[in-house]
Chains A and B, each alone.
Chain A
Amino acid sequence: MEVEEVYSSSELDRKEGKAINELIARSQEPIPDPDQWLDEELKRNILLTSVDAMLDWARRSSLWPVFCFPACCAFEFMTTAASRFDISRFGMEIVRASPRQADLMITAGTLTWKMAPQVKRIYDQMAEPKWVIAMGACAISGGIFRSSYSVVPGYNRIIPVDVYVPGCPPRPEALLYGIRMLHQKIAKMSIAAKGK
């Protein structure tokens, strides 16, 4: 039976290693950041400006983050979400465990290639339109682990990143600033523009 074959751990390991090697081979170049609409300010359709304004306001006022906290930046995110810095001021206090209900991925932490297919899969399953904040040095470039064979040198190798928040780890103020930047980026989106 094929069930026996699938349930042997060596077979699983071989399949997983093959998938990871394929992913590494596919993602040697960083994915360009999605920012095409930022330069299309003048090309805006005059009929759609109020629709755009309303849609963008609705989208940026209720960003729902998804769980993607592989490493220590997660603690800074927890601090951001907790009472002192209070992320719910931006309408995003509910961190969803389900990617179907989320439209923002705050990638807090070092990502290994073993974990990369899972993160990519979660990103693929998120509802459109979706955004990504790369939080911390590891998320931007791999950080101090960049030269390691097992660490993804930046999340933009596997998923398009909208906003980068530097720091190791970034303080909650820095993350809130990144969220404000993302708000400004979303505010410039248009349903008539290409991209996203």
Chain B
Amino acid sequence: MLADYGYIGLFLVVAIFFAVTTLLLPFFLSFPSRLVLYFRRFTRYLETHYPFLVRFIPPLPKFPRFMQVVPYNPTPVKSSTFECGMETIGTAWVRFNFRYYFYALVFIALDILVVFLYPWAVELRGLGLFGLIAALVFIFIIVIGYIYAWRKKVLEWK
């Protein structure tokens, strides 16, 4: 009895901890960017009030570049997104023909049919007449669907 209440208390503690963490998470996540913001404000303040100081404060991440240890020659080709010898052709938002989808659906139906028929064919003698009739019913259902798709002109590519 007491143990059950203990679990309830534990659940409450975990739930409250979870809720508080979730609520405070955005603040903690935005903390580094906030630091960057403060740093930018500080540098802007320096720029506006003490412009001669800023000249002697190179940005720290650019220090190797500033010292020309790392060569820095960006070009449009070098900065392009795709690292390929071929230039990209057209846009990525290409519309594919919807009939691919029909083909995929019909293929999946027949695929499942084959998956079920293989174990039945392996145990054909053992399953006997009942197995044969069951398989025929299954094939009949699939064939009805196939004929339906055929009549609906899914198999024609226009």
Contacts and interface: CB of A to CB of B under 8 A. Distances in A.
B91 A128 contact: no
Contacts of B112: none
B77 A124 contact: yes
B78 A125 contact: yes
A100 B83 contact: yes
A141 B75 CA distance: 28
Contact of B71 (A7, A118, A119, A129): A129
A99 interface: yes
A18 interface: no
Interface residues of B, number: 20
A99 B72 contact: no
Contact of A121 (B72, B77, B94): B77
A182 B70 CA distance: 19
Given A121-B85, A125-B77, A125-B80, A191 B94 contact: no
Interface residues of A, number: 21
B67 interface: yes
Contact of B85 (A6, A100, A119, A129): A119
B83 A191 contact: no
Interface in B26-84: 67-73, 75, 77-78, 80, 83-84
Contacts of A12: 89
Contacts of A55: 69
Given A3-B94, A7-B90, A98 B83 contact: yes
Given A128-B71, A191-B69, A121 B90 contact: no
B1 interface: no
A122 B77 CA distance: 9
A196 interface: yes
A11 to B, nearest CB: 10
Contact of A125 (B67, B69, B83, B90): B83
